[in-house]
Structures are given as structure tokens and as C-alpha cells.
Amino acid sequence: MGKFYISTPIYYVNDNPHLGHAYCTILADFFARYHRLKGDETFFLTGTDEHGQKVQKTAEKEGLSPKELADKVVLRYKELWSKLDISYNDFIRTTDDRHTKGVLKILDKMVEKGDIYKGSYEGPYCVSCESFFPEKDIVDGKCPDFGHPVTVLKEESYFFRLSKYEKPLLDFYSSNPDFVLPQGRMNEVKSFVEGGLKDLSITRTSIHWGIKFSEDEKHVLYVWLDALSNYITALGFGSEKDDLFKKFWPCDIHLIGKDILRFHAVYWPAFLMSAGLPLPKHIFGHGWWMKDQSKMSKSLGNVVDPNPLIEEFSSDVLRYFLLREKPIGTDGSFSDEGFIDRLNADLANDLGNLTSRLLALLEQQFQGKVSEGDGSLKETALKQLEEYHKAMENFAPKEALEIVWSFISTLNKHLVEREPWAKPRTKESEDTLSEVARALRLISLQIAPAMPHAAGTIVKSLGFAPSTFKTFSWDEKQETRAYRISNLFPRIDKKEYFKELESKKDKTVEQGKKENNENHEQKTISIDYFRTIELKAGKIIHAERVPKSNKLIKLIVDFGSENRQIVAGIGKKYSPEELVGKTCPFVFNLEPAKLMGVESNGMILAGNLDGEPILLQFLEEVPPGSKIT
């Protein structure tokens, strides 16, 4: 029996959770459950990253304080984790007192080491990524990672001597070649460090929402130093009650998305070296879920909400799909069709059929009795179990589940070959069915980290005592009594499902049209016709009155790929000053026109109140140029 500590990233609270966040948390839960089943003392940490400019800005937009926003979004995370049966041991919030205390303690140690000094920083800074980028990486004023606009920031700042750790980090990577996983990512990290490390600015005076640097309180800590420390502050580092820290640190695996590898594999180990603390054993950078060829992310507006999928198909099904569908290290594309296909093939057909067929035969022929069996499947079962353990130790969920499914298919074949239905109530039939039942008990154990509900139901229906649900071994002693259960994973008729989905959509459109007709007696237009009108979000970056007009305002609008001049008749209601910085919807493909001699290349959309135009705003931040559909 060993110890196992696994963490997820702590998620930003400026967004509601989406399928990508669910994926990483399900992965971590999968490994945590596996280690608990193996008998390891396990600690599984998740939580939320609540400080920094990104959260502060979103809160301002929503008219909330940053803490109010955090409290609201944290609830959404916790609700989703509960629906997904996430068995975390602790949920850390960076606004927790225990976290602040721990972070300041780490910083004290870095100061003691002489690694912190005061200077000033100037450089391109991306607010969305909360990160400075080297000048050479900025293309057209946009950050290299996501193409967000960057601004040049100059301010007094405290620095961390990251450059001092260039050599120690490279030495560490050489002696721990599997520190970063999958292996290919280790090379990315190495080359980044070999390219040279500059000292890191770790405080800001321009940001107020964060942990204050105790040595100079007008400085707020860099959000990544604050955030990364969660992995030890949650264990009580820096407090009197630090037994968990003593027991579980260093962490076995920080599971993260590949987007934040540099922070975890370069900065975090350097901070820890400076603070004189041991380094984590592995950093695993998993691949992304994509939608429409892009990484699923709120700012691109292509996120999949896991909630309807859980409600329609259950948490077990969604968990299984995400773990099984793509290799952990690479990217995969989410589609409803792929989801239904996987459910039907693996769950309804392979596992579901095996279970229901077996339980039915046991009941029909032996009143459910599962006897000792003849041991004919034991060797195959134990062999695949060994392979499964290897895959699990290598952090390879897809491969581990493939091994189990290959065994399921062996069992289905075994039944077909032995035809127990053709030899009712014979010793041969009894042996065959009992043997398959014992194999299925083992399978349940192996799938329990992915599908805890289904696994528990199968073991119970086979009549095995809950106590046997803890040992990864071939249980041959117990005689049990199985009973039939209803279909575990009903097959989804794909055609029907998509027809229903379409008809739901059509109904909404029809309803909308009907209401439109009834209310306004207007002609309807087809969706294809509507699609000819290009609507886009644009950010107003400049506004001034058109001379001699009290109504017209000339706007310069950022659409991501270009800035456009658009004239709007909103000057009676709005002043130019209050328009700058607002993101509004525009008609993008309107033919150019001149209004009082000023060219206009598009039109702002507005509502109407007593004859005055009222501008429209988005509920969440959308990037300039994003399509409105």
C-alpha cells in the first residue's frame, strides 16, 4: 500500500466550466479512484484560481465584486463535480485564508534565499493570458497563444531570479527524464529553458485583486505564483497543521492541459527550488478537446456544456466517452455522432449485452447461483489485468479501457463458443456462466474508476459482497446469487436521436416564426436568407462626433482582423467617451455608405426606447470579430 497525490489545475472563475474542464477533472478522478481501489492512501486536489486581472475585469462587467463573482462560479464548478461523481479530497480556493498564508510563507523563503529584487518591467502584456510575452513572439499586436490583443505595460515590479535556475532546471530534467509526460513534451520544455530564462516579474502595482506582497503592500502578487502555490497550501504548508504536507508532498502528478505546461514545468519547479522544497514527481500535459477544429474555449464561443449530456445519458457514460475516445496526450474532436456511436458500440453492445445475457442465463438455469467455476478464464483474466495495471501506471486511460474491452469481447466470444443456452442446467453450462460471472466481477473493478455507478451495479447484481469489490484478484471462493437488472445502457437509435434533436430545434424556430407572425404580421425569412447577413462583435476603440451633427458619431471598430470606420446615429443618447471600450454587435457586410460626407462601412445594432437607440451588450466577454449566429 502506497501513497498517491494527484491534482488538477485550479480553474479560473471568470467562466463557467465546460467540457474541457470536466475532462481534466474526470481524468484526475479516474486515477484517484484507481489508486484508492488499489489500497493506496490517496489525496485528490482540485479548486479555483480566483485572483488577477481577468477575474477582476469580468466581475466589473457583471457589476459584481471579484469575490462575489468567484462565489457564484465556484458553485457551478462544485455542482458539476458533484453531478460527475468527482471524488476530490479538497477543493482549494485562492481566496481562502489558508492559501494566502501559505503563499506568503513560500515568498518569505524565496526572499530569504536572495531570489527576489526590485526593478521595473516594461513589455507586451496579454490581459487574457495574464502573461507578459517576449517582443519577438508578438504578431500584429496579438499574443502568440490565442491572438488576444496585447498592451505594453511598464511598472515597478519585484523580480524572481528565474535565470539563476536555468542550469539547475536543466540538470533536474536530465536526471528525471520522465518529469514531464508525455515524453515528447519534455523536449518542448527543455528547449524552452535552453533558449534562456529571463528573471520573472512577480508583482504588479496596477492590479488590485490579489494577494498583497507583505514586504511592500502596494504590490500584488503575480497570479501564477499565487496559483501554483495551491498545490502545497492546500496541504497546510505554512501553517501549524501541515501533516498532509508532510505526508503527501511531493505530489505524484500534476495533471494539467498542455496550454499551461511552461508554468508547471519551468516556473513551479524553480519557485520550489528557491523555497528549498522538493519538486513534484510528474507533470502531465494532456491534449485538448476541440470543436470545429479549434480548442474548445469560452472566448472562441465553441464550448460544449457537459450538463445536458449528463442529464440525457448519465455521468458514467460521459466519463467513459471522454476517457476512452482519444489518447490522453493528443487532441480530439468532440461530436454528438461520435458520442452516440461510442455509447452504442462499447456500452450498449459489448458491456451491456454481456451483462444482461449472463444475468438472464444464470437466473433461467440456476436461479442465479454463481458457483466456483472451472478456472478456465482465470489465466486470461489475470494476464489482461496485468496489462491494465501497466497502462494505469503509465497514465494511459484509453489504453487501459481498451484492454478491458478486449477482454469483454473475449467473454462474449466465449459464451458464443460454449453456447450455454443450448445446454441448460448442465455442469458445463454452470461452469461457463460462473466463470464469466467471476471475470465480469473483475471487469467491474477495472471499470470502476471510469464508471463507478455501473461498476457497483454489476458487482451487486452478480451477488458478490461489497468487501470483494476492493481486491484486484480472481475471486474463486465465494458462491453467490445473482439477479437480473434492467438494461444498463439502452441503445440509442441514432437516426431517431438526431431527428428528435432537429425537431427540437425546428420547433423552436417554428415557434419563433409563429410568434413573429402573430405579433407583427411580418413576412418570415428562411434561415439561409438570414445567414446572408453577416453579424459580428466589434470593439469600439475610438469615437468622435461628426462635425455639425448632434446625432452622428464616427466609430473606429476593432473586428480582430481589421479596424473599420462606422458611423452611427446614437449621438443624442451616448457620448463618444462612454462608447470607447464597449463591444457591440454590428452588421458587417452592409454596403458602404456616406453619412454627412463621412464614410461608413457597417452598422451598429441597437434596441429602441421611446425612439432613442439603446445599445446591445454581450453577457460575457467575446473577442472582437467573433461571429454572431
How buried is residue 611: exposed, middle or buried, by Cβ count under 10 Å (0-12/13-18/19+)?
exposed
- Grid coordinates given for 177: 527524464
- Residue 267 and residue 224: Cα distance in Å, rounded? 9
Backbone phi, psi, residue 503, to 5°: -70, -30
CB of 226 to ligand ME8, least distance (A): 9
| DSSP assignment string, 328-362 | TTS-EE--HHHHHHHIIIIIIIIIIHHHHHHHHHH
Q: Is residue 34 close enough to count as binding ligand ME8 by CB under 6 A?
A: no
Q: Is residue 73 close enough to count as binding ligand ME8 by CB under 6 A?
A: no
- Residue 52 and residue 95: Cα distance in Å, rounded? 11
Nearer to ligand ME8, 297 or 353 (CB): 297
CB of 519 to ligand ME8, least distance (A): 40
Q: What share of the chain is helix, strand, coil (3-state, %, to 5)?
A: 45, 20, 35
Q: Of the ranges 271-279, 287-295, 311-319, 383-391, which one interacts with ligand ME8 (CB under 6 A)?
A: 287-295
CB of 329 to ligand ME8, least distance (A): 12
CB of 14 to ligand ME8, least distance (A): 8
Is beta strand 131-132 parallel, antiparallel or unpaired with respect to 535-545? unpaired
Cross-strand pairs, 221 = 203
- Residue 417 and residue 435: Cα distance in Å, rounded? 14
* Residues that contact ligand ME8, how many (by CB under 6 A): 21
**Which residue from 24, 126, 283, 439 is in contact with ligand ME8, where contact means CB under 6 A?**
24
DSSP E strands, 127-187: 131-132, 151-160, 180-181
User: CA separation (Å) from 110 to 116, 158, 338, 576?
Assistant: 7, 12, 49, 48
Could you tell me if 275 and 174 are in contact, meaning their C-beta atoms sit under 8 angstroms apart? no
CB of 289 to ligand ME8, least distance (A): 4
Q: Is residue 90 close enough to count as binding ligand ME8 by CB under 6 A?
A: no
Q: Is residue 295 close enough to count as binding ligand ME8 by CB under 6 A?
A: yes
Could you tell me if 297 and 14 are in contact, meaning their C-beta atoms sit under 8 angstroms apart? no
Backbone phi, psi, residue 500, to 5°: -65, -40
Q: Is residue 238 close enough to count as binding ligand ME8 by CB under 6 A?
A: no
CB atoms within 10 A of CB 131: 18
Nearer to ligand ME8, 24 or 358 (CB): 24
Nearer to ligand ME8, 13 or 169 (CB): 13
User: What's the gap between Cα 322 and its chain centre?
Assistant: 11
First to last CA, the chain: 55
Q: Is residue 296 close enough to count as binding ligand ME8 by CB under 6 A?
A: yes
Nearer to ligand ME8, 93 or 441 (CB): 93
CB of 255 to ligand ME8, least distance (A): 7
**Which residue from 12, 31, 179, 388 is in contact with ligand ME8, where contact means CB under 6 A?**
12
**Which residue from 237, 289, 474, 586 is in contact with ligand ME8, where contact means CB under 6 A?**
289
Alpha-carbon Rg for the chain, nearest whole angstrom, is: 29
Nearer to ligand ME8, 73 or 567 (CB): 73
Nearer to ligand ME8, 94 or 315 (CB): 94
| DSSP assignment string, 305-335 | PHHHHHHHH-HHHHHHHHHHHS-TTS-EE--
Closest CA to 479 of 468, 489, 471: 468
Q: Of the ranges 6-14, 68-76, 347-355, 564-572, which one interacts with ligand ME8 (CB under 6 A)?
A: 6-14
178-237 binders of ligand ME8 (CB under 6 A) = 227-228, 230
Q: Of the ranges 3-11, 108-116, 195-203, 234-242, which one interacts with ligand ME8 (CB under 6 A)?
A: 3-11
Q: Is residue 93 close enough to count as binding ligand ME8 by CB under 6 A?
A: no
**Which residue from 5, 6, 10, 540 is in contact with ligand ME8, where contact means CB under 6 A?**
10
DSSP E strands, 113-205: 116-126, 131-132, 151-160, 180-181, 200-201, 203-204
Q: Is residue 52 close enough to count as binding ligand ME8 by CB under 6 A?
A: no
**Which residue from 4, 5, 20, 454 is in contact with ligand ME8, where contact means CB under 6 A?**
20
Q: Is residue 284 close enough to count as binding ligand ME8 by CB under 6 A?
A: no
Nearer to ligand ME8, 84 or 579 (CB): 84
- Residue 291 and residue 303: Cα distance in Å, rounded? 7
Q: Is residue 88 close enough to count as binding ligand ME8 by CB under 6 A?
A: no
Taking CB atoms, the residue at the shortest distance from ligand ME8 is 20
**Which residue from 4, 5, 11, 81 is in contact with ligand ME8, where contact means CB under 6 A?**
11
Residue whose cell numbers read 472562441: 300
**Which residue from 111, 260, 590, 628 is in contact with ligand ME8, where contact means CB under 6 A?**
260
Please tell me what DSSP assigns to residue 252. S
Q: Is residue 21 close enough to count as binding ligand ME8 by CB under 6 A?
A: yes
- Grid coordinates given for 612: 432613442
CB of 110 to ligand ME8, least distance (A): 17
Q: Is residue 30 close enough to count as binding ligand ME8 by CB under 6 A?
A: no
Nearer to ligand ME8, 292 or 500 (CB): 292
Q: Is residue 257 close enough to count as binding ligand ME8 by CB under 6 A?
A: yes
- Residue 487 and residue 491: Cα distance in Å, rounded? 9
Report the interface residues with ligand ME8, using CB under 6 A. 9-12, 20-21, 23-24, 49, 227-228, 230, 256-257, 259-260, 288-289, 295-297
